[in-house]
Amino acid sequence: QVLLTESGGGLVQPGGSLRLSCVASGSISSINVMSWYRQAVGKERELVAQLITGTSASYADSVKGRFTISRSDAKNAVYLQMNSLKPEDTAQYYCNAYVTGAGSHWPLSYWGQGTQVTVSS
């Protein structure tokens, strides 16, 4: 009974920036892993950035140095700051989180609906 709501996608020129937001709502005890994936047309879904509780952030080589993942425990949110965007960053971006719901004993994976990022002149 957890919902991930994404926002922040849109059309941006090469070199521009966007910040994606993903907010988890519902009956939540804890969020153990928060990640951003993307899937371009004709390609497999790719892990872009990930935060695991107690560890530092990790990034795909293609975005390292340009993207930054962060979280807000108070807001049950994860963000993806995307700078120096390139046309090859164009994709549907999905938030994923492993969430332990209130009254549950183990985390389950939840996905956001996706938000489109298009980088084009």
| pLDDT tens track for 5-32 | 999 999 999 999 999 999 999 999 999 8
Residue 1 clears pLDDT 90, i.e. is over it: no
| CA pair distance 8, 118, nearest whole angstrom | 12
Strand-pair category, 46-52 with 28-39: antiparallel
Angle subtended at Cα 52 by Cα 28 and Cα 43, rounded to the nearest 5 degrees: 100
| pLDDT tens track for 59-82 | 999 999 999 999 998 999 999 999
* Mean pLDDT, rounded, for 87-114: 95
Give Cβ neighbours of residue 9 (< 8 Å, ≥ 6 apart).
Answer: 18, 20, 93, 115, 116, 117
